[in-house]
Amino acid sequence: MKVYLDLILIINFFYDFILLIAVGLINKRIINIKKITIGSFIGSLSILLLFYDINNLLIFIYKLILSFIMIIISYPK
């Protein structure tokens, strides 16, 4: 079975992008596409940890921290 890493990153990027836009619309925030794109890119990098042999607790903590970073970058206030 082949795993295409570029497709996984692109699909995860678009999911993060749509999720950040939906959060902005639900919270009635001003949406800056540039900031949301940067936040989505950072969020898509978290998928790279699935290919490393790391403890599940460390992966969870890393993903939690990246989620906070995504929100801080996308919605600074």
pLDDT of residue 45: 84
CA distance 42 to 67: 9
Q: Using the predicted structure, report yes or no on whether residue 77 has a pLDDT greater than 80.
A: no
Q: What is the pLDDT of residue 76?
A: 81
Q: Residue 3: is its pLDDT beyond 80?
A: no
Instruction: Tell me which residue of 19, 77, 27 sits closest to 46, measured CA to CA.
Output: 19
pLDDT per position as a tens digit, 10-69: 999 999 999 999 988 998 888 889 999 999 999 888 888 777 788 888 888 888 998 899
